[in-house]
């Protein structure tokens, strides 16, 4: 699948980036090289997709997102007791 | 040699030690710069760019600030300037954001690879702690091979330690793969830092050394990225413990449903501050009371003691467009408060991290007119000064986007000074005409953008933008930025105003003004159905847009005529300064096409509206 199909709160692995040199170089600088794991934080309807890697947020235009292939990550980290981490992985609120 | 190049470009003495502050955008570099340098700072425009470089002499050292960049190469103007300044550095103080180590260390490693002695200021260590991030500082220093000092810039913590650490600055641990790769660079490139940049394929640095750029960027970048990720893994301990208010606010700002009302609110506040408070209340005092009340009578009396104000020289000096009256009053009384107010807001917006979020919000709409979200930045700037905004179109990715943005700016974005006059004229006409004015101008913007997007070959670049954390702007930084920009602006505006005043006076004295009015009669009277004196406004409008609109004040026009003339003046060709910048930024050919097509569109729209309404 491509990044424009990403869902908010879901984690993905970047499989491939487009060939354009400048786009690739920028992406690598921001830490989203092939293989990087990112969380989709916001999808703007018809507009850009915002992804986060740790605390770094990046907005990616829809056209570019269509050229980035990703795969969904289903495994959840072992330690998921914290609210923020749960939110980052798209989990429901912890049971009391 | 690069360092000589830098000395030459910014007029530095070659024997001082150059200490360069470098880092990603929004990491607090300027706070360090202000703390190290104190009061006496020089701001130079970096030749061939819009960027200003702050530098200050402290003892035998020269401290130089650089634009915030994510890496050293030449993707945009900021990077090219930062690259040249860093290449000329004796020591780099690299400011990094403890919360965004992964991102920031990329630049750090790149400067280390260039072999420049370095000290790291690990800034915002308190914010990192609050977010549950623990960094093993000693291990980080050991892995990078350079001193690392934890700091809290906003609380001025760690500054003394940084100053002391400068003495222990040293080159760090380079990437291993570079050892072998360096042999690929021709021997004649003596400077190792430049050799690295050439390996990474920078065409400018390669050209300067008269060699071909090499093509190892991706290889080096990937190696650097994995090295940085490895370091981060070793030094960072995270402990998620806090819910982020900022993340939620950030989401609200970029989601259309909440983001658009928020944007409208911000714009309304800006309008209240600049358009109402400054343009009306403050300007009434500075222009009306101070300049026209005290300054002008004073200077006219002074000239009167030497020469009669009605003589030719007297008219040139203190007449309606006298060089001692009109330019001084407009620049000091009218423009200075407006420009200060505008840059104050803009600097605060810039420092808060909101601008990239506006870009995300409007990306979808701007794609339709051939720009991506980033294009909103020159357009917002255009409401301050179209000339300055035209220069910032350089930050747009492709030549196609730059052309579209330049054209739209010249066509239908009124600058702050003009906007103030348009507002006060429209206020007298009531809501109906104001809505008509805004509606017509915005439809022209959309239509022209859509048409250009359709006509021009190719496709615009997609958005790829970093969303910095939202922060309250630091008042000192905002004030410093504002004053730097305002001073530069006034320096540029004053000679143009003076020249314009001279030209108009000359036309008046020689009687050419009347001839021009007669020549334009078929257009002004016949087609636009306005009095022939409106021609003055057009001529003055070419010198400065706001001057043109001011010219309408003294004419007795019906509401419909005022609307027609305001529309025509707004769309009408950009002022001399903008025109010159357009010619400089684009080519002569494109400049002439832009200029004439705008002229035609202005009279066409004006005439059509006139024939419907009058």
**CB crowding B240-249: b at 16 or more within 10 Å, else e:** beeeeeebee
Instruction: Work out the mean pLDDT of chain B and round it to a whole number.
Output: 84
Question: Closest approach of chain B CAs to the CA of A87, in angstroms?
Answer: 9
Percent of chain B exceeding pLDDT 70 equals: 93
Average pLDDT over residues B459-467: 85
CB contact under 8 Å between B99 and A42, yes or no, is no
Instruction: Specify which of B53-67, B138-152, B290-304, B339-353 reaches the highest per-range mean pLDDT.
Output: B138-152
Q: Given B218, B254, B463, which is nearest A60 (Cβ)?
A: B463
Judged against a pLDDT cut of 80, whether residue B116 lies above it is answered with: yes
B230-278 tens-digit pLDDT: 999 899 887 654 445 566 788 889 889 999 999 999 988 887 887 778 8
Chain B positions touching A14 (Cβ under 8 A) are none
- The nearest alpha carbon in chain B to A27 belongs to B464
Site from B104, B225, B471 to mutate, A interface, most A CB atoms within 10 angstroms? B225
Question: Closest approach of chain B CAs to the CA of A70, in angstroms?
Answer: 17
Judged against a pLDDT cut of 90, whether residue B514 lies above it is answered with: no
Question: Closest approach of chain A CAs to the CA of B149, in angstroms?
Answer: 22
Instruction: Specify which of B225-239, B422-436, B574-588 reaches the highest per-range mean pLDDT.
Output: B225-239
Chain A positions touching B68 (Cβ under 8 A) are none
CB contact under 8 Å between B243 and A46, yes or no, is no
pLDDT at A84: 60
Residues of chain B with CATH 3.40.50.300: 2-238
Question: Closest approach of chain B CAs to the CA of A8, in angstroms?
Answer: 11
Task: Find the angle CA(B494)-CA(B600)-CA(B427) to the nearest 5 degrees.
Answer: 60
Average pLDDT over residues B56-82: 87
Q: Given B73, B229, B467, which is nearest A59 (Cβ)?
A: B467
Chain B positions touching A32 (Cβ under 8 A) are none
Chain A positions touching B368 (Cβ under 8 A) are none
Q: DSSP character for B209?
A: T
CATH-assigned architecture of domain B2-238 = 3-Layer(aba) Sandwich (3.40)
SS (H, E, C) B502-517: HHHHHHHHHCHHHHHH
Chain B positions touching A37 (Cβ under 8 A) are none
CB contact under 8 Å between B251 and A62, yes or no, is no
CB contact under 8 Å between B106 and A55, yes or no, is no
Task: Find the angle CA(B467)-CA(B112)-CA(B99) to the nearest 5 degrees.
Answer: 30
Give the A:B interface size as CB pairs under 8 Å. 128
Average pLDDT over residues A79-83: 59
Half-sphere exposure of B376 (CA within 13 A, CB side): 20
> Using an 8 Å Cβ cutoff, are B73 and B58 in contact?
no
CB contact under 8 Å between B75 and A26, yes or no, is yes
Closest by Cα among B229, B271, B272 to B106: B229
- The nearest alpha carbon in chain B to A65 belongs to B462
Helix residue spans in B47-152 (DSSP H): 77-87, 101-113, 125-130, 137-144
Question: Closest approach of chain A CAs to the CA of B183, in angstroms?
Answer: 23
Judged against a pLDDT cut of 90, whether residue B444 lies above it is answered with: yes
CB contact under 8 Å between A44 and B221, yes or no, is no
d(CA B135, CA B260): 38
Q: Which of residues 492-521 of B touch A (CB under 8 A)?
A: none
CB contact under 8 Å between B465 and A58, yes or no, is yes
Q: DSSP character for A31?
A: T
Instruction: Specify which of B266-280, B301-315, B441-455 reaches the highest per-range mean pLDDT.
Output: B441-455
The DSSP bridge partners found for residue B93 are B21, B119
Site from A29, A37, A63 to mutate, B interface, most B CB atoms within 10 angstroms? A29
Helix residue spans in B187-289 (DSSP H): 192-199, 203-208, 217-235, 245-254, 256-270, 283
Judged against a pLDDT cut of 70, whether residue B46 lies above it is answered with: no
Query: Could you tell me if A55 lies within 8 Å of chain B, comparing CB atoms?
Result: yes
Half-sphere exposure of A6 (CA within 13 A, CB side): 37
CB contact under 8 Å between B463 and A61, yes or no, is yes
Question: Closest approach of chain A CAs to the CA of B239, in angstroms?
Answer: 9
Question: Closest approach of chain A CAs to the CA of B478, in angstroms?
Answer: 24
- B6-10, B28-32, B148-152, range with the lowest pLDDT: B6-10
Query: Could you tell me if A62 lies within 8 Å of chain B, comparing CB atoms?
Result: yes
**B12 against B379, higher pLDDT:** B379
A4-54 tens-digit pLDDT: 999 888 889 999 998 877 788 888 888 888 888 888 888 998 899 999 887
CA distances from A15 to A30, A35, B152, B217, B392 (A): 16, 6, 38, 20, 35
Percent of chain B exceeding pLDDT 90 equals: 27
Q: Which of residues 82-111 of B touch A (CB under 8 A)?
A: 99-100, 102-103, 106-107
d(CA B69, CA B84): 12
Q: Which of residues 378-437 of B touch A (CB under 8 A)?
A: none
B591-611 tens-digit pLDDT: 899 989 999 999 999 999 999
Question: Closest approach of chain A CAs to the CA of B325, in angstroms?
Answer: 50
> Using an 8 Å Cβ cutoff, are B322 and B219 in contact?
no
Closest by Cα among B10, B54, B52, B7 to B391: B52
Question: Closest approach of chain B CAs to the CA of A78, in angstroms?
Answer: 14
pLDDT at B3: 45
pLDDT at A4: 92
pLDDT at A86: 60
> Using an 8 Å Cβ cutoff, are B508 and B590 in contact?
no
Domains in chain A (CATH in brackets) are: 3-88 (2.30.30.90)
Site from B69, B103, B224, B377 to mutate, A interface, most A CB atoms within 10 angstroms? B103
Judged against a pLDDT cut of 60, whether residue B2 lies above it is answered with: no
Chain B positions touching A84 (Cβ under 8 A) are 240-244
ipTM of predicted assembly, 2 dp: 0.81
**B188 against B497, higher pLDDT:** B188
CB contact under 8 Å between A29 and B103, yes or no, is yes
pLDDT at B243: 43
């Amino acid at each position: 699948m491509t990044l424009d199909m990403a869902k908010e709160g879901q984690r993905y692995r970047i499989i491939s980036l487009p060939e354009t040199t400048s786009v690739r170089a920028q992406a690598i600088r921001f830490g989203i090289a092939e293989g990087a794991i990112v969380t989709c934080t916001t999808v703007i309807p018809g507009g850009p997709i915002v992804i986060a890697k740790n605390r770094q947020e990046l907005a990616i235009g829809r056209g570019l997102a269509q050229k980035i292939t990703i795969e969904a990550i289903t495994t959840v980290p072992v330690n998921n007791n914290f609210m923020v981490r749960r939110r980052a992985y798209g989990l429901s609120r912890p049971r009391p | 040699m690069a360092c000589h190049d830098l000395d030459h470009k910014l007029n530095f003495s070659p024997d001082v030690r150059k200490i360069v502050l470098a880092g990603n955008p929004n990491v607090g570099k300027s706070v360090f710069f202000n703390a190290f340098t104190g009061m006496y700072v020089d701001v130079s425009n970096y030749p061939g760019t819009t960027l200003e470089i702050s530098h200050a002499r402290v003892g035998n050292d020269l401290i130089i600030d650089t634009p915030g960049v994510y890496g050293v190469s030449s993707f945009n103007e900021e990077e090219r300037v930062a690259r040249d300044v860093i290449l000329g550095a004796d020591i780099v103080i690299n400011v990094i954001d403890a919360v965004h180590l992964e991102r920031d260390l990329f630049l750090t490693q790149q400067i280390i690879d260039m072999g420049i002695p370095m000290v790291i200021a690990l800034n915002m260590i308190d914010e990192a702690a609050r977010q549950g991030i623990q960094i093993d500082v000693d291990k980080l220093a050991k892995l990078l091979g350079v001193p690392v000092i934890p700091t809290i810039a906003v609380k001025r913590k760690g500054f003394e330690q940084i100053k002391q650490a400068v003495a222990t600055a040293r080159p760090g641990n380079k990437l291993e793969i570079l050892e072998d790769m360096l042999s690929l660079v021709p021997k004649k490139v003596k400077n190792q830092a430049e050799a690295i940049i050439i390996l990474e394929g920078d065409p400018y640095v390669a050209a300067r050394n008269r060699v071909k750029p090499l093509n190892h960027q991706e290889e080096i970048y990937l190696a650097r990225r994995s090295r940085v990720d490895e370091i981060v893994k070793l030094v960072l301990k995270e402990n998620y413990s806090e819910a982020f208010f900022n993340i939620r606010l950030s989401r609200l700002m970029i989601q259309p449903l909440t983001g658009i009302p928020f944007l409208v609110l911000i714009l309304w506040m800006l309008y209240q501050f600049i358009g109402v408070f400054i343009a009306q209340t403050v300007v009434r005092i500075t222009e009306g009371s101070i300049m026209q009340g005290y300054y002008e009578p004073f200077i006219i009396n002074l000239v009167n003691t030497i020469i009669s104000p009605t003589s030719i020289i007297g008219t040139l000096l203190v007449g309606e467009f006298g060089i001692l009256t009109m330019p001084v009053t407009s620049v000091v009384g009218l423009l200075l408060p407006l420009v200060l107010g505008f840059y104050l807001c803009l600097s605060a917006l810039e420092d808060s991290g909101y601008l990239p979020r506006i870009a995300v919000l409007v990306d979808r709409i701007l794609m339709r007119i051939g720009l991506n979200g980033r294009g909103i930045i020159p357009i917002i700037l255009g409401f301050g000064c179209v000339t300055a905004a035209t220069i910032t179109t350089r930050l747009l990715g492709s030549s196609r986007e730059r052309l579209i943005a330049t054209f739209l700016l010249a066509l239908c974005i009124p600058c702050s000074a003009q906007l103030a006059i348009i507002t006060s004229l429209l206020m007298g006409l009531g809501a109906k005409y104001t809505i008509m004015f805004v509606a017509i101008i915005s439809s022209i913007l959309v239509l022209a953008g859509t048409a250009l997007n359709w006509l021009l070959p190719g496709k615009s670049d997609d958005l790829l933008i970093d969303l910095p954390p939202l922060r309250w702007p630091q008042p000192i930084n905002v004030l410093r930025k504002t004053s730097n920009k305002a001073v530069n602006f006034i320096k540029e505006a004053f000679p143009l105003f003076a020249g314009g005043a001279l030209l108009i006076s000359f036309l008046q004295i020689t009687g050419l003004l009347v001839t021009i009015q007669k020549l334009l009669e078929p257009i002004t009277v016949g087609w636009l159905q306005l009095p022939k004196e409106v021609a003055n406004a057009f001529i003055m409008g070419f010198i400065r847009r706001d001057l043109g609109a001011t010219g309408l004040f003294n004419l007795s026009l019906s509401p419909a005529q005022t609307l027609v003339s305001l529309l025509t003046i707004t769309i009408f060709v950009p002022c001399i300064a903008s025109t010159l910048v357009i010619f400089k930024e684009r080519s002569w050919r494109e400049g002439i096409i832009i200029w004439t097509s705008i002229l035609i569109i202005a009279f066409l729209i004006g005439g059509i509206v006139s024939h419907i309404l009058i």
